[in-house]
Structure 1
Amino acid sequence: MPPFPSEMSYFNGYFSRHDQYLPLHKRPTFSRPSLLTLTLGLLVAIFAVANMVSLFRPVQSWPSPFDDYQALNTFPIINQSSNTSLQNHAIVTTLYSDSYAAAVATLGHSLRKANTNARLVVLYFPDRISPAALCVATSSGFESHPISRIPPPHNSAGMDPHFIDQFTKLALWSLDSLSIDSLIYMDADTLVLRNFDEIFSLPFSFAAVPDVFLDDRGFVITFNAGVLFLKPDTEIFHAMIDVLPVARFPPEYAEQAFLNQFFAPSAVRLPYVYNGNLAYKKRAPKLWEDIRGELRVIHYTIEKPFLGSHFKLLDWETLDERIAEAATSDGGFFRDEMELWGKTWQEARMEYAEKLDRCRRGR
């Protein structure tokens, strides 16, 4: 039988077929190649030989935590220490800016619709978040927990200004102080489609979903930090803070690069459906179509329907306009996802109307 065709992209010594993803249940059938096909193949081969110089250009390499391995994490992969009950599980998000208050409220409503049994906790900066924004963010059921900002190492050299607060995410490992035995962290720009409480039964200390890039890297072995499963442990938290100044990682990817370095050999890779990064759809539409029915989470990485330009805070009327605008951007490529977020936000506004009204009136 002829081999199943694939266009394989190279990354860190690993191969990926996602760029030409075809689910096995849709595998095409093949017929014997015709004389014309063989002739064309021969011509292509001749052309390739004539351009041999270009074929021998060195393959572009992309650094990974394994290329520059550092023994940062000395803690066991499997956590056998806790016998947890449902009330010891939590889903945690963060609020670093008033601009994300509506997003947190919408995330909370989507979690309620999914009937999660976990606690909902939002970490926030008390010196930066207004009472009105915190009120909106907690309207759908999040309990608020103030937290101190963890500054980036090396005075944020080489980092995108939008990511310099993200090292505060390391504080997740200190939440055993809230009697949380295991948690799922979710960026505020996520939306839940289905219950995923099954993740809490994992015996591992840390798990995440592999990342994807729109450039030559494509689908990679490193993970995205927008959805994380972890077992909080203050001892691990202090170990992270201790090694943060000396760890080597690409600064432009901030805390995500550090976490990939810290958990390089021990992170458990979760299926893509637990972090439906919109970049999956952009990079491999067929893959997105195939997993769409199983998605637990959509991650609004490329297009955020709740933010204006330059992360501008929007009032509710302008927010409705922004959602409509996001649905038509890029030729409407993400229309379904933008409209789904807008529908969920509208449901939250109706479901928690009384509390949201009090938030707007400052009561």
Structure 2
Amino acid sequence: MLLILLALLLALVLSLGVYLHIDKIKSNRIATLILAKIPGGPGALDIVRQPLVTSPLSFYQDPYATSSDPRKRAYVTILYNEAYIPGALLLGYSLRKHGMLDPSMAQNMVLLYLHERLSKKAVALLKESGWDTRAVDHIPHPPGRPPFGRFMDAYTKLRMFELEEFEQVFYMDADTLVLRPFPEIWLYPVPLAACRDVRKVQGWLKNINGGILLLKPNRRLMQHMLEIAPVYEYNEMTAEQGLLDAYWAQVVTILPYTYNGQLGIRRMFPEVWEVLSKHVKIIHYTSIKPWEWHAPSSTLMERKLWWDMWMEMEVDRRRQGLKSLGDLGKATRLGLERHSSDA
């Protein structure tokens, strides 16, 4: 009799439907969180898949170890075309001025660029500025997941994880400029560190800004990010920044804005920028670039910083017996003169 009652109870449960929750994660693979419903009794599982990943830390033997050898540290930037060459040239100069004085700081400057996107003349100028130039292959966006147009080449930035001859890399977008030394950055014993993003209208964000990154190269980790990107949930419109933000969400170390003084802060929160600007070590010319003459007059002071250092770089080039850069910085100078006369 008891067995009959149990059988009837089981049949009743099945007739109402059974929800199965499975969250077993298989190491180093995309796992699935499965919610399966069996309508009206036993039948085919209706599976909804959402990708999960193994922690990025699993790709490192010791993710929180630091290197005491400055030869194993590098500053890295990337160019997808020649539009940012003025920025890369001055970034290189500012690194040699402020980023390599202390013997504990990195003594390497690596510039990645896409094959056939830069002329021989451009590459020669970059080498004169101290960059170790390295041509790399393009990394396309995941199939069916195009980002905003200006980020179409940005997944190529992930090539920085391939630089395994270095134990630590400090990545900087070519529209950044070093204003003060920052030797303490190399003491952060972390696999990835970044500042949070700031955007027009949205203001302060929880997402990271990919313009400044402290990281430990790891080729296998990079390959894994690209393997899961077609199905991984992240903000695909911001390309590699969105992927990095989602992939590293649980373990990223957040840096203070002194290492990524985004001009978005200047535009959105001028009272904050007034205090922050006195301590910013790296300024990030987000949105309009300082070498573009039509930049808004509200950023006049920050563009003057850029132009003053450009002129300083020209003096240094003459001292080395190098040719003047000519009109490369002309747009910035014209913009400054235009806005100064308007005032």
TM-score (norm 2): 0.73
1:233 aligns with 2:218: yes
2:32 match: none
Aligned-residue offset at 1:154: 2.0
Query: Please, which runs of 5 or more residues in structure 2 have no aligned partner?
Result: 1-49, 328-343
1:289, distance to aligned residue in structure 2 (A) = 1.0
1:355 and 2:315 matched = no
Structure 2 letter corresponding to 1:121: V
C-alpha distance in 2, partners of 1:126/1:349? Answer: 28
Shift of 1:69: 8.3
Residue 108 of structure 1 is matched in structure 2 by: 92
Q: 1:263 aligns with which of 235, 240, 248?
A: 248
2:142 match: 153
Q: Letter of the aligned partner of 2:251 in structure 1? A: S
Q: Is the 8 A contact 2:171 2:211 kept in 1?
A: yes
- The aligned residue for residue 275 of structure 1 is 260
| Structure with a larger share of its residues in strand | 2
Task: State which drifts further: 187-196 or 113-122.
Answer: 113-122
**Structure of larger gyration radius:** 2
SS in 1 for 2:217: coil
Cα distance, 1:82 vs. partner? 5.5
Distance (Å, rounded) in 2 between the aligned partners of 1:99 and 1:356: 20
Note if 1:247 corresponds to 2:214: no
In the alignment, is the contact (CA less than 8 A) between 1:105 and 1:348 conserved in 2?
A: no
Task: Report how many residues are paired.
Answer: 269
**Structure 1 unaligned blocks of 5 or more:** 1-67, 308-321
Residue 219 (structure 1) aligned to one of 190, 201, 204: 204
Q: Which has the higher contact order (CA 8 A, sep 6+)?
A: 1
Distance 1:290 1:242 in 2: 43
Give the alignment of 1:336-347 within 5 angstroms: 336-347=301-312
Per the alignment, residue 174 of structure 1 pairs with: 162
Q: Does 1:99 align with 2:83?
A: yes
SS at structure 2 position matched to 1:138: helix
CA contact (8 A) 1:156 1:164 kept: no
Matching residue of 1:195: 181
- With the length of structure 1 as denominator, give the TM-score of the two structures: 0.69
- More displaced 10-residue stretch of structure 1: 293-302 or 108-117: 108-117
- Per-residue CA distance 1:214-264 (angstroms, 9 max, x = gap): 22x321211100000001111212211211222122222111111101101
Q: 2:38: which partner in 1?
A: none
8 Å CA contact 2:90–2:313 kept in 1: the answer is yes
Deviation at 1:302, TM superposition (A): 2.5
Give the corresponding residue for 1:32.
none
> 1:96-141: CA deviations, max 9, x gaps?
1112112101001111111423211100113211111112223221
Residue identity over aligned pairs, in percent, reads 32
Q: CA deviation at 1:272?
A: 0.7
8 Å contact kept, 2:212–2:259: yes
